Amino acid sequence: MAVPSCSFLSATAGLAGSLASVSAKFAFGDLPLSLDVEPSILPFPAPVVSVAFRGVFILGTILLNGIMWAFYMKALRVSGNTLQALAINTACNFVSSAVFGYLFFGDLITGSWMFGAALMLVGVILMNIGDSVLSREQPDLAGGALTSTKVERDPKKIS
């Protein structure tokens, strides 16, 4: 089975982290569902339903944070450059947090935010391009010549 790329693992970690913060906001803030229904319709009192929903969101926060850390640690193992994993994770978390904030909480996405997100995307792309070029050719410190130093990792050893 092929090992997922660092980019995929880092982006998934960023997305899971963003979803964890959405879940935490629901757990400790306003619930996404209105519990202002006729009390006779609910099989349990409204406060019990509210506590149950909050409990589900707290468990979701813990689970999603665990998923985020698992994917991020795997991305660090697969990556030849920890900065690459960090930048992709952060950028994906930043963008997905804004999208979820817009969708669930009515947050505004301004032009300056979009400009900053575009700069982050350009930075991640340049870093990935630079990393692939550097991994193919590194200067030989003794003689100054360029030598191929690409390190092949055994996917069976990466878990």
Q: Give domain status of residue 1, yes or no.
A: no
Q: Give domain status of residue 152, yes or no.
A: no
Q: In the chain, at which residue ranges do the beta strands (DSSP E only) sit? A: 137-139, 146-148
Q: Give domain status of residue 23, yes or no.
A: yes
Q: Give domain status of residue 157, yes or no.
A: no
Q: Give domain status of residue 136, yes or no.
A: yes
Strand-pair category, 137-139 with 146-148: antiparallel
| Whether the predicted pLDDT of 12 surpasses 50 | yes
Per-residue model confidence as pLDDT tens digits over 27-69: 888 665 554 445 556 676 767 777 888 899 999 999 999 999 9
Per-residue model confidence as pLDDT tens digits over 71-110: 999 999 998 778 889 989 999 999 999 999 999 888 899 9
Q: Give domain status of residue 39, yes or no.
A: yes
Q: Give domain status of residue 99, yes or no.
A: yes
User: Which residue range(s) make up the domain with 129?
Assistant: 6-140
Q: Give domain status of residue 159, yes or no.
A: no
Closest CA to 93 of 68, 59, 61: 68
pLDDT of res. 83: 86
Give the number of other CB atoms < 10 A from CB of residue 108.
8
